[in-house]
Amino acid sequence: MKYINKVCQLSRSHKRLISLFIDSLFICIAFYFSFWVRLGEFIGFMDVENTYALIGTLVLTLFIFVRLGLYRAILRYLTFHALFVILVGALCSAVILSFCSFYLQAGIPRTVPIIYFAFLSLLCGGSRLIVRTLVAQGNKKGQECILIYGAGSAGRQLAQSLKSSEEYRTAAFIDTDTTLIGTIIQGLTVRDLTEIDALIAKHNIKKIFLAVPSASRSRRKEIINSLVHFRVEVLSVPSMEDIVSGKANIDQLEDVAIEDLLGRDPVSPQQVLLEANIKNKVVMVTGAGGSIGSELCRQIIQEQPTTIILFERSEFALYKIDKELAEINTKLSVKVKIVPLLGCAQNVKRLTTVMTTFKVNTVYHAAAYKHVPLVEFNAAEGICNNVFGTYHTAKAAIASHVESFVLISTDKAVRPTNVMGTTKRLAELGLQALAAEEALKPQGTRFCMVRFGNVLGSSGSVIPLFKKQIQSGGPLTITHPDITRFFMTIPEAAQLVIQAGAMGKGGDVFVLDMGEPVKITDLAENLIKLSGLEIKSEENPLGDIEIQFTGLRPGEKLYEELLIGESVSQTAHGRIMTANESFLPLKEYEEILAKLDGVCSNFEHDLIRDILLSTPTGFNPTDGIGDLVWNEKIDALKIKI
C-alpha cells in the first residue's frame, strides 16, 4: 500500500509514463499468453514476423489509448466510461493484431486476436480497478462511518456523491421498503430499521443522513420519531424543491428542519386569493423589516403589485429587506417599484402623506412590539406602538381611501395575561369599531385581522435560542415543564395572512389553523437527541446537555388559545376560520384611547393597569406591574421612606 501511495504522490507526467510502461507490458503478456492458450505451448511466438506484428500492435495500441484519453483518467475516480475506453482500445488492438499478422504473413492462428482481446481487457481494466479499490480503501482510514436513510433516487445520488468524500464513508442504506431489504445498491446493502442498533455498534455510527426530500412533512416526522431514540446525529438533504431549482445540491446536508418535527403538511395556496389584494395594486407593509413583515414582502412581490411600500422604523432592517427585494425583482424579471420609507406607525401625518401620495390600495400592518417580557418591562411604549400605532395607521388608511387593511394579530390577544396580548386585543377592538363605521360608507376601507400563534425562526422564537444553547454545550432553558405553544412556518403564515385578507368583508377576525399545540420540553428533547447527544438528568448524570426550568416569565401563559368564544365558522380555505366576537362602538373605544393617552404620557403605570383591567379585553394579569422604570421609582421612594 505504501508503494501505491508513493506513486500517487508523483507528478501527473510521471504517472502517465508508468501507465504507458505497464500497459506495454500487459500488451506483451496478453500476446504471449494468447499463444499459450491457443497452442498449449510457447512455440512460434519468437518468429521474426510475429515479433514485428507484436511491435506494430504495441505502438498502435498505445497511440489509440492516448487518443482515447485513457491516460487522462484519474484512477481514484475511475468510472464505467474509462472501462468502456479500455474495451474499445483492446478491440482496436485485436483488429490491429489481425491486420499485422495478415500483411506480415505471421504465423498467428486466427483465434489468437480474440483471446488476446480478452486478456488485454482483463489486464488493463482489472489492474486499474484493483488500484482504484486499494486507493479507496487507503482513503477510508479516518473517515467517519454513516448510514443513509432512504434507498431511493436521492439516497443513491447521495451515496454516489459521498464516494469521493474524504470525510464520510457509507456503511449501508436504511429503508422500510420490504422489497429492497437485503438487496445491494451501489455496493451497499439495504438494511431494515430494526438493524440500526447493530450497525451503530459495528461501525461506530455517529450520523444518519436522511435522504427523503420528496416525503411529506407528516411522513418525515414519522421517520424522525423512529430515529430520535438512537444516539446519532440526524442530518437531512435539502428539499426536492431546492434541489430542482438549483438552490442546493444533494450533498449539502443540513440540520433536520423544525417543521419536520411538527409534521405539519402545508396546504397549496389559492392563487385567486393571493392576487386579489395585490396584483397590479399599490401595497404597503408596515414593520416591513420584521420576521412576518419581511416574509409578507417576499410573498407580495411575487404576485406583481405595481408598487410595494416598505414602512419601517429600523434603518438596518429596512436596508436589508430593500436590498433583498431588489434582488428578487431582478431574479423574477418583474418591474415592481420598491419604495423604502423610514417612519413610525404612531406618526399619523407621515402615514397619511405616504398613503395619499402613493395612492395605496392595500395595507398589511405588521408593525408591533411582540416580545411578551419586553413589553411587560416597557408597558407604556408597548401600548403606544401596538394600540395607538395600529389606530393611527387605520385612520390614515381611511383618510387616504385605502381599499383593504389587514392587521397581523396574535393568539396572545385571547384572554391575555400580559400587556402585549392586551394591547393586541385592544388593536383588534379598534379595527372592529372602525370597520363598523366604514361599513356604512359606499366604498369604505375594509378592515380585518388575522390571528395566529408562534412562527418558526422569528426574532423571538425559542428554536434559534435552543440551537445556540446546544452548540455552546447547554443547558437548554425552558420556563416550565408543561408549557405548550402553537407553531407555524413564517412562509405559511404569510401566505395565509394574504389569503385571509382577501376574504375580509369588514371587521372580520380570521383565525389560522395552527394544528396541534407542541410541548416545548418535547421539542427541546428532540433537538438534543437529533444532534447525537444525550439529555443530562438525575437518571442520566453522564448525559451531554441538561434542560433547566427557569419559571414562567412575567405575563407568560402555560398555553395559548386562538378563540375567545365558541362561535367560529369555516371559510372557503381549509386552514382559515373566522370568529364572531363582540366589540365596542367607536365612541366608547375612543374614550378608552383618550384615557390611555393621558396616563401613558405621564407614565402612570398604576392607572395604566386600572384602565387595561377595565377594558373588555379579558385582561387577567398573573403578575404585578412589570415596567422597569416604574418599579425603579417605587423602590427609590421606599428607600427614602
Instruction: List C-alpha distances in Å: 92 to 55, 62, 112, 116, 476.
Output: 15, 11, 14, 11, 69
Do the Cβ atoms of 450 and 497 come closer than 8 Å? Answer: yes
Compute the C-alpha angle 313/315/318, nearest 5°: 85
What's the distance, Cα to Cα, between the start and end of the chain in Å? 87
Phi, psi of 469, deg, nearest 5: -65, -35
Do the Cβ atoms of 403 and 505 come closer than 8 Å? Answer: no
Q: At what angle do helices 80-103 and 48-67 cross, to 10 degrees?
A: 150
**ω into 475 cis (within 30 of 0):** yes
Helices (H), 290-413: 291-302, 315-332, 348-358, 372-377, 379-383, 389-399
Select from 627, 635, 624 the least CA-distant residue to 602: 627
Helices (H), 378-442: 379-383, 389-399, 419-438
- How many residues does this entry show for the chain? 641
Do the Cβ atoms of 255 and 339 come closer than 8 Å? Answer: no
In three state form, how does the secondary structure of 482-544 look?
Answer: CCEECEEEHHHHHHHHHHHHHHCCCCEEEEECCCCCEEHHHHHHHHHHHECCCEECCCCCCCC
Do the Cβ atoms of 46 and 132 come closer than 8 Å? Answer: no
CA distance 150 to 163: 17
Compute the C-alpha angle 499/500/505, nearest 5°: 120
Select from 446, 433, 438 the least CA-distant residue to 586: 433
Pick the catalytic residue from 412, 424, 529, 557.
Answer: 412
Q: Tally DSSP H helices, then E strands, for the chain.
A: 24, 23
Amino acid sitting at position 581: E
Please confirm, yes or no, whether 412 is among the known catalytic residues: yes
Positions marked catalytic: 412
